[in-house]
Amino acid sequence: MTIGSDVNQVLSTIKGIEAQLSSMAMNTTSPEASKVFHETMLVIGEIKTDLQKRKTELEIAEPQYKS
């Protein structure tokens, strides 16, 4: 498994977590819990964006890692 495919796997996992948090935020009846789920989803979204940028940088600097 290459670094690129490892990063893609992590990105896929993060996207799944982000979707689950969004669903939980919409389906909970507690406004406080909904807020926490939503805020956590936003943090996960920032992590996803940072990881996507890093993946692009990695692929440019080290083409052998391109997946």
**Per-10-residue mean pLDDT, the chain, length 67:** 82 96 96 96 96 89 72
Residue identified by tokens 């996992």 is 13
Asked if residues 44 and 21 have their Cβ atoms less than 8 Å apart, the reply is yes
pLDDT score at 46:
96
Burial category of 14 from C-beta neighbours within 10 Å (exposed 0-12, middle 13-18, buried 19 and up) = middle
E strand or H helix at 65, and its extent?
Answer: none
- Answer yes or no: are the C-beta atoms of 65 and 2 closer than 8 Å: yes
Q: What is the predicted pLDDT for the residue at 66? A: 66
The C-alpha atoms of residue 8 and residue 11 are separated, in whole angstroms, by 5
